[in-house]
Amino acid sequence: MTPGLGTALNAASVLAGAAIGLSLGRVIPAGLQQTIRAGLGLFVAVYGIQMTLHTKNPLILLISVLAGVVIGELLHLDDGMQALGGWAERRTRRDGEPGRVSLAFVTTSLLFCVGPLTILGSFLDGTRGDVTVLAIKSVLDGFSAVVYAATLGWGVALSAVTVLVVQGSLTLIAFLAHAGLSELETAELTAAGGIIVVGIALGLLDLKAIKVANFLPALVVAPLLSGLLHAVGAV
């Protein structure tokens, strides 16, 4: 697939969700939203497992994931993303303040662009042309846009521009970096991404709260480690 298609789909889902939220308000029952979330969670789990099967060497995958999560913990990646998300959530309580359009824009821009799905989805789109993760994110963001547009107004639609710029840039960077990766390195990168996707699925299904963002460095460690071992003839 054409790199960037996932980002375009995501931006379109935000626009569609905002339009629905402005016209219909909060008409989607909470029960239906939970059922859709559960369905997405099950699909994401199966998809993540399928991705991990790309590994050529499970030991490389294990070391990459463990090393990646140690790096993520030391850098407090998940805590940083949670802090940004929490700040955005707190801003939504200031409904009566002036500048509601800018409030809606800033709030939803952060919510839609800060998180592991943004980074992982853009990474897979750029390196493999795989838009599945961004398609899943599009569904989640679309439903969120309905709710936020109903409460914050049309400024939510402007965040589609932020999604295009941020995810588009990440996808482009991943696409350019991918040109230097071998088939083996790409396979281990994909498998490491699969582990992260399974972690996201556990959160969607409310089974286990995992600091998924702390695993993101594994996406860098996996191809580097596999390339290094291949260079020295260890694999």
Instruction: Tell me the per-residue pLDDT of 58-91, one tens digit each, with 9 for 90 and over.
Output: 999 999 999 999 999 999 988 887 776 667 656 6
Helices 5-24 and 100-113: angle between axes, nearest 10 degrees = 140
Distance CA 214, CA 187 (A): 21
Of residues 9 and 102, the one with the higher pLDDT is 9
pTM of the predicted model, to two decimals?
Answer: 0.76
Q: How many residues does the chain have?
A: 235
How many angstroms separate the CA atoms of 76 and 85, rounded? 14
Please write down the HEC assignment for all residues of 11-50: HHHHHHHHHHHHHHCCCCCHHHHHHHHHHHHHHHHHHHHH
Mean pLDDT on 158-184: 88
**Residue 49 is encoded by which pair of tokens?**
């497992």
Region 215-230: mean pLDDT is 92
Query: Helix H segments across the chain?
Result: 5-24, 30-52, 58-75, 77-91, 100-113, 116-128, 132-152, 155-178, 183-204, 218-231
Q: What is the pLDDT averaged over residues 157-174?
A: 91
Say which residue the tokens 């303040």 belong to. Answer: 97
pLDDT tens digits, residue range 18-66? 999 888 766 667 777 678 778 878 988 998 899 899 999 999 999 999 9
Task: Assign 1 a pLDDT band (cuts: 50, 70, 90).
Answer: low
Nearest C-alpha neighbor of 204 from the set 46, 52, 45, 48: 45
pLDDT for 90 equals 67
